[in-house]
Structure 1
Amino acid sequence: MRGLITICSFLLVGVLTAHYIGFAHQADSDPKAVDKELEGLNEKYVLRFSHVVAENTPKGLAASMFAQLVREKTDGWVEVQVFPNAMLYEAQAEFDALMKKDIHIIAPALSEVTVIDPNWLVMDLPYVFRNEQMVEDALHGRIGELLFNSISDYGLHGITYWENSFKQVTNRIRPIINPEDIEGLSVRVMPSEALSDTYRVLGAKPRLFPFNEVYDVLSNGVVDGTENTLSNIYSKGFYRQQNYMTVSNHNYLGYAVFMNGKFWDSLPVDHQNSIIEAMNEVTVWLREHSNKINTEMLARIENSNLIEIHHQTESEKMVWRNALKPVYEKYGQIIDPELITEVTKLQE
């Protein structure tokens, strides 16, 4: 009798165990609902933002403001660390560092992007924009959309465009009023073939140097002059090393804010939305204040009495545009035809 009870007990335990295992397997195999928008929200992200200009320039101020807004909008779950003045990388080195995820955000000048994507040369055509409104219409319209689409093929995710101001020409040799006045001068330019060809067509000698070496090459007489915005000319002290400045507005210096495409896709959707929201607010602020900042810098340069300033007239601009037609003829064959068409519409 005792043996029978033992056998029945073993059979009962076996049945219960089999029943439990079967149901447990079935329960574990059921799919679990996952809210993708909430993934990663309990993880802190630290984003390194590298740029090459001073903190008191339009881009420097915008980067600091962006970092503060992102921290507020994510309740501290996303921290943006800003490294100005090429503390981490010079302009061209930033692209490689971004793709390696050594840094996470960059805001290079539009001219710097041309080294990677030739379509961006459209922004460096001389006198292509006549005023700030045309620039805004271009960057935040169809032209800006086409440029971001183009650069995405290279693994970069475009977030927004930041505006600064038009560039002016400075030099230590003589006043530059007519196109022939620049002939023979050496001029530091950013690494854009369109910018280099602009000076070659005029008989000048374009020279490439990193932004944070410009003060030294000007002061040592390695180059005769340079081109830049009034805020950079003042904040970096270029005007102290130059004798003449022509307020020409011949090219626009704006910035594109990029992140690594794969890294951007890995961020939680809520954090992406917060970053975009912060960027939009900074972009609007910068648009309103960059012109004011550059106007103030011009006044400071004038009050220094260290440099002779010539303001280019509309009739003089027409002469320069005619002299620079070969640049348009060359790059009209290189840049995406749709971009050229959009620029033509804008100018008309």
Structure 2
Amino acid sequence: MIYLGVKHGFGEEASLPADHEQEGLNDQIVINFSHVVAENTPKGLTAAKFAELVEEKTNGAVQVEVYPNSMLYSDGEELNALQNGDIQMIAPSFSKVTDWIPEWQVLDLPYLFEDQEDIRTIFTGPAKDQLLQMLDNYHVKGLAFWNNGFKQMTTAKTPVSKPQDLQGLTLRTMPSEMLQRQLNLVGAETKEASFDQVYTLLEDEQFDGQENTISNIYSKGFYQVQKHMTLTNHGILGYAVMINGEFWDSLPNHVQQAITEAMDEATAWNMKQSEVMNQDALIQIEDWPDFQIRTMSEEERRLWKEAFKPLYQYYRNHYDKKLLKEIEEELNR
């Protein structure tokens, strides 16, 4: 179930008549799932798909109530809300998780992923399991990685073809040191802003540009307040689906199994759906007047990779060179 308005009495149980049918309702497990993007995005649709699968696999005994669009918590609040038990499930971006676990910045390294197959390899392989296990120290159970797609650069006034074109621009980023360093490396100034504030800040010209997936650029209307988009594919936007650890441990084994199966199926669906949605969103954006879309040449792509190469050594020196090596080996098999 997806809520499009505020649910009154959130977290409270209603007083209902005591009969056999009602006892079944009282036994129903409700999982409140908060996220910050629109319903018509890869994460939004996958959350809805997951909710349907859980209800189906448990014959209605478990209900996942999805709250999209930062209805309950902004992307700066949801991790603490989960840890405090105020919400049961969230799916923050990898960049948000770096607030807790800096090693996760490996997933923000530019051009680590070359194509959809690379994403699938890491999102379903040993590296994913290793990264999710790091959440255990925060009393959080990691369930899966979901994909939104490759990120592109949008700007308001300056068309971008090479890294130096970003010099002097102020760009919105998420709170990840690696994301900020990569843009600072080419001379851009970076500022953080919650996802739900980005449109207004772009409209008010507080930022010259931002990086995001095509589906987010379309669903949030960023193309309406920017003039240029370069298809850089320089990074990915992925999400870590997680559940409060204490809540997870309180669930019966058969419910945990049903949730795990539903998550596996929803994740496989997400990998296909995210690619389709970004392709469809690009077609929609192409029809917007006065919005210029640029595809990079192979030489331009080489220049971007070269400009960002120092970040790999920085990660090795400051974080987890073994983890990066394992991921690179997985990708090169």
State the Cα distance separating 1:336 from its structure 2 match. Answer: 2.0
- Find the counterpart in structure 1 of residue 35 from structure 2: 51
Does 1:322 find its partner at 2:306? yes
Does 1:275 find its partner at 2:259? yes
Equivalent of 2:212, from 228, 237, 255?
Answer: 228
Q: 2: CA distance between counterparts of 1:338 and 1:274?
A: 34
CA deviations over 1:192-220 (Å, ceiling 9, x no partner): 11000001101001110000000000000
The runs of 5 or more residues in structure 1 that have no matched partner are 1-39
State the Cα distance separating 1:334 from its structure 2 match. Answer: 2.5
Does 1:288 find its partner at 2:272? yes
- Find the counterpart in structure 2 of residue 173 from structure 1: 157
State the Cα distance separating 1:325 from its structure 2 match. Answer: 2.0
Do the aligned residues in 2 keep the contact of 1:118 with 1:334 (CA within 8 Å)? no
Equivalent of 1:163, from 130, 144, 147?
Answer: 147
Question: Equivalent residue of 1:333, what SS?
Answer: helix
Equivalent of 1:88, from 65, 72, 85?
Answer: 72
RMSD across aligned C-alpha pairs, in angstroms?
1.5
- Find the counterpart in structure 1 of residue 90 from structure 2: 106
Counterpart of 2:218, as a letter, is Y
- Find the counterpart in structure 2 of residue 19 from structure 1: none
Superposed counterparts of 1:207-218, under 5 Å? 207-218=191-202
Superposed counterparts of 1:1-348, under 5 Å? 43-348=27-332
* TM-score, structure 1 normalization: 0.86
- Between the two proteins, what is the percent identity of the paired residues? 44
Do the aligned residues in 1 keep the contact of 2:139 with 2:246 (CA within 8 Å)? yes
Q: 2: CA distance between counterparts of 1:284 and 1:347?
A: 19
Question: Equivalent residue of 1:157, what SS?
Answer: strand
Counterpart of 2:265, as a letter, is E
Which range moves more in the overlay, 313-322 or 275-284?
Answer: 313-322
Do the aligned residues in 2 keep the contact of 1:142 with 1:342 (CA within 8 Å)? no
Do the aligned residues in 2 keep the contact of 1:240 with 1:306 (CA within 8 Å)? no
Counterpart of 2:221, as a letter, is G
Q: 1: CA distance between counterparts of 2:257 and 2:234?
A: 36
State the Cα distance separating 1:99 from its structure 2 match. Answer: 1.1
Counterpart of 1:145, as a letter, is D
Q: 2: CA distance between counterparts of 1:336 and 1:263?
A: 31
Q: Of Structure 1 and Structure 2, which has the larger fraction of its residues in helix?
A: 1
State the Cα distance separating 1:83 from its structure 2 match. Answer: 0.3
The runs of 5 or more residues in structure 2 that have no matched partner are 1-23
Counterpart of 2:118, as a letter, is M
Does the C-alpha gap of structure 1 residues 42 and 90 become closer, same or farther in structure 2, counting only changes over 3 Å? closer
Does the C-alpha gap of structure 1 residues 333 and 79 become closer, same or farther in structure 2, counting only changes over 3 Å? same
- Find the counterpart in structure 2 of residue 11 from structure 1: none
* TM-score, structure 2 normalization: 0.90
State the Cα distance separating 1:58 from its structure 2 match. Answer: 0.8
Do the aligned residues in 1 keep the contact of 2:97 with 2:104 (CA within 8 Å)? yes
Counterpart of 1:148, as a letter, is L
Count of equivalent residues: 309
Question: Equivalent residue of 2:287, what SS?
Answer: helix
| Structure possessing the higher radius of gyration over alpha carbons | 1
Question: Equivalent residue of 1:256, what SS?
Answer: strand
